[in-house]
Chain A
Amino acid sequence: MKRDQVICRALDIRKTYWRGKVSVDALRGVTIDIKTNDYISIMGASGSGKSTLIHILSCLDTPTSGEYFLEDKLVSSYTDLELAKVRNTFFGFVFQSFSLLPRLTATENVALPLIYSAVNKKERVIKARKILENIGLGDRMNHRPNEMSGGECQRVAIARALINDPKVIFADEPTGNLDSKTGAEIMEIFDRLVEEGNTVVMVTHDSNVASHAKKIVRLKDGMIEDE
């Protein structure tokens, strides 16, 4: 794939939440491009709309207005099924709180997205194990989340995000629940992923974490301050 090719283009994205009769403007016109092999940090204080933005960019949420294109296709024209497919194969998502299924082993958690892309069980296990080994969890394959440390859980979550070879990996405060040493280890993984040609967009309020990125986007009150 060519460098600097635009994968995602968000134009004048706005998002308004309604809490009863009071409306809250979480995003007030955000325009942003994500290009191949980008490494972007979205920074901002809490309430700045950074989480809302990453949720909309990763198609977990929909904007109130504005246009969002994935490889030149308008996301608002997608059906539920197409959106599910985008979340499944186009994007990978790493959450602050890991969001692993507690009853499944590391391997099963990593393989979860493959269930929804109709990959058979044998292949799922092979693929999941390979990624877990790459990320240094070869000895944790059959452990459940409650038997692993926070850093290990987050690595399982990263492995899950990677399993379908996504075009963009989104991470929402990936080090937020980890101590600084473990957080640094996680950031090394993201750095390596970008070196290997992946595209990473993450949200953080920690400038140390943000400094890993090649590009920092600062949000304030639902708008981009500067780039």
Chain B
Amino acid sequence: MNDFLIKISLSLQTFKTHRLRSFLTALGIIIGVSTVIAILSLIEGLNRSVAEQIQSIGSDLVFLSKSPMVMAGPQNIEEIANRPDLTPDDAEAISQLPSVDIAIPEISQQLTKLSYRDKELASVRIIGSTENFSKVNNRFVESGRDFTRDDVTHRRSVCVIGSYVAKNIFPEGSPVGKELNVRGHRLKIIGVFREKGAFLGQSMDNMLVMPYTFFEKIFPQGESVIERAFFGYSVDIKPKSGQSEKTIDEVRELMRRRHGLSFDKKDDFELGTQQMLMEIYQNITRVGFIAIVAIAAISLVVGGIGIMNIMLVSVAERTREIGIRKAVGASNQNILSQFLVESVFLALIGGVIGIIFGLILAWLISVVSPLKASVSPWMVMLGFGFSAAVGIFFGIYPARRAAGLNPIEALRYE
């Protein structure tokens, strides 16, 4: 143990005399490790909140939409735009299927501005749906009332708002009965949802639901390809308990029939479950994960080559020292471990600095962006382990070279 400390203090001395050189050598490792740590913690944070979000949606819903839920790989947007739109009638037909409990149409507009007198709230998510929206989405109206079938059929300008909207526009007093202004239309608040929490750093309560019939009046369907492809109705389906597999089959069959697709044509709609959403998501992050491991491996190899290079220089520079040490009784093993400790130490210092940098980087990103970083102990261990492994792997050759020197030749070296 004592010996080990001496080796470390010897290495420290070497680093002190060659400060810049040691720093530049460690830089490769620093960059590699900090990149890995930052990206890993961001992915982990993303994974965590997505998993939470998907679970918080609640029951095992089936989603029917015109465009894929997650764009994985190249997609022909033109093709998606030209698919038939989904309609509230589709939702109605689906709700008649034997395995289906409830099906609702849902249409939404992100980043919309709301105002009440002189108060404004930008970027609210506005949703159009039916009276069953809260039932399907596990939402509860806390004060006031939910809207009804009647409100939908009569295109009433009423809405239920999320708690975030309530708190921000009406810090005092009940919002129920007040009238909001959305794109020049007056919307009467009839209820407030119970708080649901945040996702990816964004509140899920920053929303407002109104009858889809009135939504269509405020937000007419756009004509651009993007709008046609992505901004239309989707259908949220709540199967009877334990029947989601059956629901998928029934909905597919029904929709193919409604769209008049012959057996050799592909689906012109997308069906998904929370489970599939989760799997798609995991696949994407897995690819990302592998890519990062590859990048990390490359940068660590580059860093390792730097260490090897410097260690070879160090061995050449200290040939005489090695000769002296061997002459007074150092074994090959002693010399080997001295140089190996040095390279491992160099790599570990790089690793520690890299970990710290990486954590700072992840923290900065999560401060300035909605991404949330999540750091696990295993990442720190990984960073540490990786750099130690690099130190050993790339240090062993120079160390063996030092250990194998003949004492007399080493002593003669100038």
Contact = CB atoms under 8 A, between A and B. Distances in A.
Interface of A: 55, 60-61, 80-81, 84-85, 87-89, 93, 95, 99-101, 103, 112-113, 115-118, 120-121, 160, 164
**Shortest Cβ-Cβ A-B pairs, 3 listed:** A88-B329, A84-B331, A116-B329
Contacts of A60: 326-327, 407-408, 411
Q: What is the size category of the interface that chain B forms with chain A?
A: 20 to 34
B329 A89 contact: yes
B314 interface: no
B331 A81 contact: yes
Contacts, number: 66
A88 B333 CA distance: 14
B2 A120 contact: yes
A80 B332 contact: yes
A55 B6 contact: no
Nearest to A102: B321
A103 B2 CA distance: 19
Interface of B: 2-3, 6, 13, 17, 320-321, 323-334, 406-408, 411
A112 B329 CA distance: 9
Q: Is the contact region of chain B dominated by helix, strand, or loop, or is it mixed? A: helix
Contacts of A55: 408
A93 B407 CA distance: 12
Contacts of B331: 80-81, 84-85, 116
B330 A84 contact: yes
B330 to A, nearest CB: 5
B6 A112 contact: no
B232 to A, nearest CB: 75
Given A85-B329, A87-B329, A101-B321, A95 B411 contact: yes
B406 A93 contact: no
Contact of B326 (A87, A95, A115): A87
A81 B13 contact: no
A131 B90 CA distance: 99
Nearest to A97: B411
Given A101-B321, A103-B13, A113 B408 contact: no
A101 B3 contact: no
Contacts of A118: 3
B328 A116 contact: yes
A109 B328 CA distance: 10
